Amino acid sequence: MNGHKQGGINTPDCEACREDLSAVLLGVASEAETERVRAHLQTCADCQREAAELRQVLDGVLHAPPEVAPPAQLRDRVLQSARSSRAQSIPAPQSAPRKRPRLALWLPTGLGLAAAVAAFVLWPQSAPVRADVVVSAGDSVVFASSTGTRAPLVIRSAGGQLRRVSMVTSQPAWFTEAVYAGGRAYLLDAANNQLIVLNVAQGKIERRYATRGGAAGLAVEDGRVFVKTASSGELLVFGDPNDAATTRRILAAAAPMPETDYMDAVLHVGNRLWATQHTTGQVFVLSGNGGQLLDTYAVGGAPVGLQQWAGGVLVLDVQGRLLELAADGQVGRTLKLAGNPDKFSVMNGKAYLTDRGGTVSVVDLQSFRVTRQRTFGTPMDIAALPDGHLALADAKRGLLMLMPDLSDV
């Protein structure tokens, strides 16, 4: 969608967005519909306001129980009503353009908005279809879904139980990175320009930081939070948790790009901070607090990932390379890779690389070669767990738990 309002008149793109909006926010829209709504909301302030208003309604219902207890099987009835309305709104060939009923028209006869919406936000639901980022959080795993679902954050306990965490945003989230430190999961939502801090034990969001510019890289060290932005080319440094002040350091020229290209990384190693800028093919080395630029390495390609390994740093190039850098920035070894891997994790001498094209690859870091590959749906992120297993975030198959050889747990 690329239409805008002109002179206060709704364009066809605005109408289509608003027809799909309630389905997206309730999590019953298709992935294609969700992507179209997200793209339109990036450019249309009026539709953003309508989305925010509807989100506020949902948030109010979540924290204020309905006046009467919802009838049994209400959630199933609402879902069936929504799906039936959507099916009836699909036109026959050569018919007039479809008009999807909005949220209020989907509710079963005789039920109020609060009671019907409560069925979605208070009743247990299955795991999200989509998982975009994942992080090991002590004996739990936290993952997030970039869809219109009302509770995009999920905590998976060691026993496999799922605990959903609600989050109100003006636009469907677009999660780019997650890290864990001090009992908290930090998650970047680039679509809403925010860093979310989730208290894992309590299952609630403690605070949010503003992170404009296509935030993609994330590290937490000694109370400081470091965020690398892909589009604006900045390093953001948040200090004391009680202080909202932000230090901004420009590392590269701004380069507008779609959300799907928000890729970069930041890594804290010893008294150094490493950061990538994939649009320029550079890796930056800064002082541990991010205050001073110490060196710049031109590694070429499009570096998007950083991991520590054997006294050096591994750099993942989304154009198809894995580099081993020494402490002085010299490239020691280079492994050419098929496809476009963009996320990776290191465990027990092996690197696990995800490619949105469908594959997960295992690289033996001693021999520096690929030893295993497996095809999934749309792998988005991978995390090594303390027990030796892997957690894979897949946009089509959700959260998958794997053995080190990529077989299912």
In a domain, 373, yes or no: yes
Whether 249 shows a pLDDT value over 50: the answer reads: yes
Name the band, by pLDDT with cuts 50, 70 and 90, for residue 96: very low
Average pLDDT over residues 156-182: 92
Of the three residues 64, 88, 122, the one that is the final residue of a domain is 122
The three-state secondary structure class of 58 is helix
Host domain of residue 106: 12-122
User: CA-to-CA distance for 104 and 155, rounded, in angstroms?
Assistant: 31
The model's pLDDT over 397-408, given as tens digits with 9 standing for 90+, comes to 999 999 999 999
| Domain co-membership, 82 together with 199 | no
Residue with tokens 């030893």: 371
Tokens describing residue 144: 């997030």
| Domain co-membership, 152 together with 270 | yes
User: CA-to-CA distance for 147 and 273, rounded, in angstroms?
Assistant: 32
pLDDT for position 113: 45
User: CA-to-CA distance for 83 and 62, rounded, in angstroms?
Assistant: 23
pLDDT for position 58: 53
Q: What does DSSP say about strands 204-210 and 215-221: parallel, antiparallel, or unpaired?
A: unpaired
List, in order, residues 6 or more apart from 369 with CB less than 8 Å away.
335, 363
Residue 190's domain is classified under what CATH number?
2.130.10.10
Whether 122 shows a pLDDT value over 60: the answer reads: no
Which range has the worst mean pLDDT, 56-70, 149-163, 320-334, 342-356?
Answer: 56-70
Measure Cα distances from 157 to 7, 139, 142, 396 in Å.
51, 7, 9, 22
The larger pLDDT score, comparing residue 373 to residue 5, is at: 373
The larger pLDDT score, comparing residue 80 to residue 341, is at: 341
Residue with tokens 């957690």: 391
Mean pLDDT for the chain? 82
| Domain co-membership, 190 together with 235 | yes
Which range has the worst mean pLDDT, 63-72, 75-84, 129-138?
Answer: 63-72
Whether 297 shows a pLDDT value over 60: the answer reads: yes
| Domain co-membership, 116 together with 146 | no
Name the band, by pLDDT with cuts 50, 70 and 90, for residue 171: confident
Name the band, by pLDDT with cuts 50, 70 and 90, for residue 318: very high
Of the three residues 61, 93, 122, the one that is the final residue of a domain is 122
Nearest CA to 37 among 18, 9, 59? 18
The model's pLDDT over 338-371, given as tens digits with 9 standing for 90+, comes to 999 999 999 999 999 999 999 999 999 999 999 9
| Domain co-membership, 118 together with 137 | no
User: CA-to-CA distance for 367 and 364, rounded, in angstroms?
Assistant: 6
Residues 202/205/209/215 CA torsion (nearest 10 deg):
100
| Domain co-membership, 180 together with 298 | yes
The answer to whether 224 and 238 are in contact (CB under 8 A) is yes
Measure Cα distances from 140 to 157, 203, 204 in Å.
5, 11, 15
Kindly provide the b/e burial profile for residues 222-240, where b requires at least 16 CB atoms within 10 angstroms of the residue's own CB: eebbbbbbbbbbbbbbbee
Residue with tokens 């945003």: 169
DSSP per position, 119-142: HHHHS--PPPS---EEEEETTEEE
Domains held by the chain: number = 2
| Domain co-membership, 220 together with 338 | yes
Name the band, by pLDDT with cuts 50, 70 and 90, for residue 77: low
| Domain co-membership, 240 together with 386 | yes
User: CA-to-CA distance for 399 and 153, rounded, in angstroms?
Assistant: 12
The secondary structure element, H or E, covering residue 206 is strand 204-210
Could you give phi then psi for residue 104, rounded to 5 degrees? -60, -35
